[in-house]
């Protein structure tokens, strides 16, 4: 019985692997085609173009067979990027909007900041983000409560003692960022509450220097997509909140919103957020 189940799983993995491979092949072939059509100067090179340009370069000029990357490496790296980027960023955007819907005061403050800094006649752009300090703390607070990579694994390289606990060399350790973010010993009695202002006088950053707040992990294995992730999440949340007023459907009140999490790698919402947008800018923003 167990054997049949394993066989079934193997078949399923193979089928999924093949489907993913087809998508990645398509992406690579499109890039190969476009690099032939356009000359070097004309084309804006993206991540896949750069990997492809390394494909035929030997690591060691005296050994033509050892290439920096091969086609399989390019597919594996691209898949890592897709898997690491989409789900994490989308999950943070959905939690941020959910908390904003539940906290009209915070939503109003954020819209006010956007109106003051960006104005009501144009869309938020990437170069506005550094001027949006309230948006910054809204995203920090969202990442504190809903880190989309909640469990960070490590293995100890030497015997060590942490707070009186002896940890043997080569022990697997799982850091629970979700629990750290809700620990009242660190964040006071309102740790469970969405309150962005708690970050106002704290000089915490995202980059793994402050162990009470490490939504992107830390050290050598820390998230390499931190800049892209933060920019995407901030820009999407800012544009959605700047362009639209959001309301819950069917006369639901903010307190009725179900905030249950789904068990999984990125702890997304158990049920997707449903909200009704109304355009709020002056005329057609550009
Ligand atoms: C808000 C968005 C994101 C969050 C919160 C996030 C969070 C994390 C966390 C907690 C880790 C584990 C770090 C560690 O072990 O110390 C990680 C790893 C990783 N992330 Fe992200 N991430 C985000 C966006 C992205 C994006 C946009 C990309 C790619 C473009 C990306 C690619 C990766 C990769 C490849 C790893 C594995 C790194 C390694 O093991 O060496 N992530 N991320």
- Which residues form ligand 1's pocket by a CB distance below 6 Å? 80-81, 84-85, 88-89, 92, 148-149, 152, 215-218, 221-225, 228-229, 233
243 is in an annotated binding site: no
**Token pair for residue 41?**
């100067």
Q: Out of 69, 84, 119, pick the residue that ends a domain.
A: 69
Q: How far is the CA of 149 from the centre of ligand 1 (A)?
A: 7
Overall average pLDDT of the 11-17 stretch: 93
* Strand, coil or helix: 66: strand
Phi (first) and psi of residue 251, to 5 degrees: 55, 25
Task: State whether 266 and 193 are in the same domain.
Answer: yes
Angle between helix 47-55 and helix 71-102 axes, rounded to 10 deg? 160
In which domain, by residue range, is 187 found?
A: 100-279
Q: Which atom of ligand 1 is nearest to the CA of 148?
A: 5
Distance, in Å, from the CA atom of 89 to the CA atom of 147, rounded to the nearest integer, reads 10
Task: State whether 161 and 274 are in the same domain.
Answer: yes
Task: State whether 189 and 230 are in the same domain.
Answer: yes
Q: How far is the CA of 119 from the centre of ligand 1 (A)?
A: 33
Task: State whether 142 and 261 are in the same domain.
Answer: yes
pLDDT one-digit tens code per residue, 148-162: 999 999 999 999 999
Task: State whether 65 and 180 are in the same domain.
Answer: no
- The full DSSP string for 135-196 is HHHHHHHHHHH--SS-EEEEE-SS-EEETTEEE-TT-EEEEEHHHHHT-HHHH-TTTTS--G
Q: How far is the CA of 30 from the centre of ligand 1 (A)?
A: 26
Residue 255 DSSP class: G
| Inter-CA distances, 54 with 59, 90, 112, 184, Å | 9, 31, 47, 49
Please say whether the beta carbons of 145 and 95 come within 8 A. Answer: yes
With 80 as the cut, is the pLDDT of residue 66 above it? Answer: no
Query: In the prediction, which pLDDT does 42 show?
Result: 63
Ligand 1 binding pocket mutation candidate from 77, 143, 216 (most atoms within 8 A of CB): 216
Overall average pLDDT of the 155-184 stretch: 95
Tally of domains in the chain: 2
pTM: 0.87
- Is 264 domain-assigned? yes
Which stretch of 68-82, 119-133, 223-237 has the lowest confidence by average pLDDT? 68-82
């Amino acid at each position: 019985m167990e054997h049949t189940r394993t066989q079934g799983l193997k078949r399923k993995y193979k089928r999924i692997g093949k489907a993913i491979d087809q998508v990645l092949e398509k992406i690579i072939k499109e890039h190969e085609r476009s690099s032939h059509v356009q000359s070097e100067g004309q084309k804006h090179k993206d991540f896949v173009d750069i990997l492809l340009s390394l494909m035929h370069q030997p690591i060691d000029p005296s050994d033509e067979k050892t290439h920096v990357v091969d086609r399989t490496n390019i597919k594996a790296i691209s898949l890592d990027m897709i898997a690491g980027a989409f789900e994490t960023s989308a999950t943070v955007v959905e939690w941020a909007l959910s908390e904003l819907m539940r906290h009209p005061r915070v939503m109003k403050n954020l819209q006010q900041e956007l109106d003051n800094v960006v104005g009501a006649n144009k869309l938020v752009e990437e170069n506005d983000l550094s001027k949006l300090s309230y948006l910054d703390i809204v995203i920090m607070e969202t990442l504190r409560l809903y880190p989309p990579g909640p469990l960070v694994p490590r293995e100890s390289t030497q015997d060590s003692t942490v707070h009186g606990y002896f940890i043997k060399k080569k022990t697997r350790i799982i850091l629970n960022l979700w629990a750290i973010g809700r620990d009242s010993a660190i964040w006071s009695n309102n740790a469970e509450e969405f309150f962005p202002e708690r970050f106002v006088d704290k000089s915490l950053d995202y980059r793994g220097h402050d162990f009470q707040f490490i939504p992107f992990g830390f050290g050598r294995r820390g998230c390499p997509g931190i800049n892209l992730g933060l920019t995407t999440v901030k820009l999407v949340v800012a544009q959605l909140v700047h362009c639209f007023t959001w309301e819950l459907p069917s006369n639901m009140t903010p307190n009725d919103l179900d905030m249950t999490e789904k068990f999984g790698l990125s702890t997304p919402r158990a049920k997707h957020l449903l909200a009704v947008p109304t355009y709020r800018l002056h005329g057609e923003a550009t």
